Amino acid sequence: MSLEAFRSEVRAWLEENCPASCREPVDGSPRRAPLPSDLVLWRRRMGDRGFVCPAWPTEYGGGGLGATEARVVAEELRRIGAEPASSGFGVSMLGPVLLEHGTPAQKREHLPPIARGEIQWCQGYSEPGAGSDLASLQTRAVRDGEDYVINGQKIWTSGAQSADWIFCLVRTDPTAPKHEGISFLLFDLRAPGVTIRPIRLISGASPFCEVFFENVRAKARNLIGKENGGWTIAKRLLQHERTMLASGVAVREAGPSLSALARSYLGEVGGQIADPILRDRVAQLEMDRLCFDAARRRSAEAARSSQGPGHAVSVLKLYASEMSKRSSELVIAILGAQGLGWEGDAFSPFERAAVREWLRSKSATLVGGTSEVQMNVVAKRVLALPD
């Protein structure tokens, strides 16, 4: 089938199967949260069609498509502003790692539920004492027959309150050097002994949680890779995470353009944004996005021709997150006093959302490794600067 024929087929399928509340309203009305029943339906249809993970093999519930076709699916989903049928953690991070490092049994057990959008995953990495210095993590897992028994605490666990399972870094050998005593373990968050507590952030939202483990039992067959060999897998997963974060920025910023915003809030003089300094900043940022998009395409081409994302991805994550912060700063600057609102009708829903987005965006350079950690990685792995 030609690519164009495939595209029209995908388009027609989406037209028929994507519920109205799970996509950008066609009449231009403001978007509302999807209906929970629609979301369930949408997940099931996407999963059955193999479009949640279009590039995965069909035996694991994927669509078995080539990279080009998979991109067409992603483009068509973006075109209608479709709600993601599954969170990114299973699809973009754990899935690729399992495909590379999982045993056939592990793949058969865990990949299909991800590809059907049935199981939502979260990431148990950071701990109160292990942020940038992730490898100093202390959560213990002790082997007991066919199980591991887990005690400890994770923090900044995105989406834990709505997740079903967790992929978790645990310390299995406290006497080994810190990188060599870590294992990569999967377990059910509904197991006895798990406590999840959302954290309220400066933006008012609670996307992150603290997760506590008290004698939680996990099946030893869900250890990925070797015992004490988890650090390599953890790092590999971080590369996939950075790819996801770098691509997320472009998607999120597909909304109203900065220049349109600036025109409406600052006015025009002779067809130009009235404030020359803010106009210059808008142009700078829009050019930066052009450059970034060109770099991302180049990196994606390079990744397709080799084995998955390379360390150069760290540069993109670094730039994307800094750019996302600057973008939010600029939106607030353009809104002026209307960019200071928190609640109430003196501010439009867009303005209130912009303020919260500005606060949220501060995390862009913290999650998935701070900018400083990314710079350390690039300095060492890409530029080969000495320790």
Partner 1 sequence: MSDEQEVLRATARDFVSAHAPVAHLRELRDRGDPIGFSRSLWTRMAELGWTGVVLPEEYGGSGLGYAELGIVLEECGRTLVPEPFLSTVVLGSSALLLGGSEDLKRKILPGVCSGDTILALAHQEYGRFAPYAVSTRAVGSGDGIRLDGSKTFVLDGHVADYLVVVARTSGTPGDRGGLTVLMVPATARGLSVERTIMVDSRNAATVRLEGVMVPASAVLGVVDQGADLLDLVFDRGAVALSAQLFGCLAEAFERTLRYLKTRVQFGVPIGSFQALKHRAVQMYCEVELSRSIVLEALRAVDEGRADLPRLASAAKARTSDTAGLVTREAIQMHGGIGMTDEEEIGLFLKRARVAELTLGDGSYHRDRFARVSGY
Asked whether position 8 contacts partner 1 by CB under 8 A, the answer is: no
DSSP 8-state secondary structure symbol assigned to residue 117: T
Report the residue from 41, 135, 194, 295 that binds partner 1 according to the rule CB under 8 A.
295
3-class DSSP state of 269:
strand
Asked whether position 318 contacts partner 1 by CB under 8 A, the answer is: yes
Asked whether position 387 contacts partner 1 by CB under 8 A, the answer is: yes
| x-marked contacts with partner 1 along 199-238 as a string, rule CB under 8 A | ----------------------------------------
Asked whether position 269 contacts partner 1 by CB under 8 A, the answer is: no
Q: What is the largest CA-CA distance in the chain?
A: 77
The distance from CA 297 to its chain's CA centroid, rounded to whole angstroms, is 18
d(CA 250, CA 244): 11
Please provide the size of the chain in residues.
387
d(CA 197, CA 303): 38
Q: Of 55-63, 100-108, 120-128, 287-295, which segment contacts partner 1 by CB under 8 A?
A: 287-295
Please pick, among 83, 127, 241, 351, the residue that the annotation labels catalytic. Answer: 241
Q: How far is the CB of 384 from partner 1 (least distance, A)?
A: 8
Q: Are 361 and 331 in contact (CB under 8 A)?
A: no
| x-marked contacts with partner 1 along 76-105 as a string, rule CB under 8 A | ------------------------------
3-class DSSP state of 195:
strand
Q: Of 239-268, which residues contact partner 1 (CB under 8 A)?
A: 259, 262-263, 268
Q: Of 25-33, 147-155, 230-238, 277-285, which segment contacts partner 1 by CB under 8 A?
A: 277-285
Q: Of 146-154, 203-211, 291-299, 346-354, which segment contacts partner 1 by CB under 8 A?
A: 291-299
| 301 annotated active-site | no
Asked whether position 330 contacts partner 1 by CB under 8 A, the answer is: no
Q: How far is the CB of 377 from partner 1 (least distance, A)?
A: 9
Token pair for 336: 């002026």
Residue linked to tokens 């100093």: 136
Q: How far is the CB of 383 from partner 1 (least distance, A)?
A: 6
Q: Are 142 and 215 in contact (CB under 8 A)?
A: no
Amino acid code (one letter) for 353: A
Q: Residue 68 class from Cβ within 10 Å (0-12 exposed, 13-18 middle, 19+ buried)?
A: exposed
Closest to 370 in 3D by CA, of 169, 135, 154, 132: 132
SS (H, E, C) 277-292: HHHHHHHHHHHHHHHH
Asked whether position 305 contacts partner 1 by CB under 8 A, the answer is: no
Beta bridge partners, 218, equal: 148
Which parts of this chain interact with partner 1 (CB under 8 A)?
A: 259, 262-263, 268, 271-273, 279-280, 282-284, 286-288, 290-292, 294-295, 297-298, 312, 315, 318-319, 372, 374-376, 378-379, 382-387
Positions marked active-site: 241
